[in-house]
Structure 1
Amino acid sequence: MTIKAIAVDMDGTFLNSQSDYDHDYFAKVYDLMVAKGVQFVVASGNPHYQLEDRFPTVKDQLAFVAENGVELIDHGELVYCGKVAMEMVERVNALHQA
């Protein structure tokens, strides 16, 4: 079996109790993943710009699943953005005002 991607959740999984990670160790492991053709995927409920800030040197090489799946950014390109249709917003507003 060939591993094609490794996905990690940030809070409580990838990040330690100080909300950080060992940057030097990650750089070594990341280089090994790149050499093997393994994509590193960062997943979180946080917005993508916060996630990208944690990986400044390689952010354009990673994939991010942000906002609990509402945004998908791959190699710096927005691939998917789940948007609520304006009709639905208007319906909710109308219900709220009633």
Structure 2
Amino acid sequence: MKLTALIISLLALSVSIMGLLRIMEEDIKLKNWRKNLTKGMSIIVDNGKVIYKAQIIWAGAGWVRVISTDGKTAAFGTKCIYPLTYLIDENDIQNEDTAQKEGTTA
């Protein structure tokens, strides 16, 4: 009985450690990606209040200046910048294809 409990505990611990390692690996990949931000990259901005697609117009040490699809510019720390493959709900993205919503062509 004690052996079964020990085996179950070890399995649960190994699953927890594997999950933690996966999260750490994703964080390291994101940090490395953010170190290589360059002008012209299409990105997603998520500052906790607004999520939208943008393009980098200037990249500095720790922050970037972006231009949104509707032409507004802003500056953000790199912690607010994510790749286009960032998993988010498409309905949360602001300023996306505003020309199509207005019925005009760009």
TM over 0.5: no
TM-score range relative to shorter protein: under 0.3
- TM (normalized to structure 1)? 0.25
Task: Pick the structure with greater CA Rg.
Answer: 2
- TM (normalized to structure 2)? 0.24
